[in-house]
Amino acid sequence: MNRDKVLGMIGLAKRAGKVVSGEFLCDKAIKEGRSRLVIIACDASEMTKKAVKDACAFYKVECFEYADKESLGSFTGSDIRAVVSINDENFAQEIVKRYNKTLI
């Protein structure tokens, strides 16, 4: 149930034009300072996870692992996506809030 709320908010942000997906575009958004939150699929490769987490740490962008590539892809209008960047502060805050509720 809570997972649906997080993914649903990602889908809403995508429809609002505030999301980029895919490793290359997310890396670009992080480095250009547009990214406010990065979500990495739990089943992404270890190499992808490390590269994205390192970039997020360096550029001080919050990131966490969530869902799988297929779920992230379907909520962003793609087949599969390993990395999603939320490029809006309000959407990022709401997604983090909903994500934190899943940890309780």
CATH code, 36: 3.30.1330.30
Nearest to 41, CA basis, from 18, 75, 89: 75
| Rounded to 5°, angle at Cα 55 from 30 and 14 | 35
Q: What sign does the CA torsion over 47, 49, 50, 55 have? A: positive
- How far separated are the first and last CA of the chain, in Å rounded? 13
Instruction: Count how many domains the chain has.
Output: 1
Q: Which domain holds residue 62?
A: 2-103
Mean pLDDT over 27-56 rounds to 98
- Predicted confidence band at 104 (pLDDT cuts at 50, 70, 90)? confident
Q: State the residue for tokens 């270890």.
A: 46
Mean pLDDT over 15-44 rounds to 97
Q: What is the per-residue pLDDT across 63-103, written as a single tens digit (0 to 9) for each?
A: 999 999 999 999 999 999 999 999 999 999 999 999 998 88
31 token code pair: 């480095």
Which pLDDT score is estimated for 83? 98
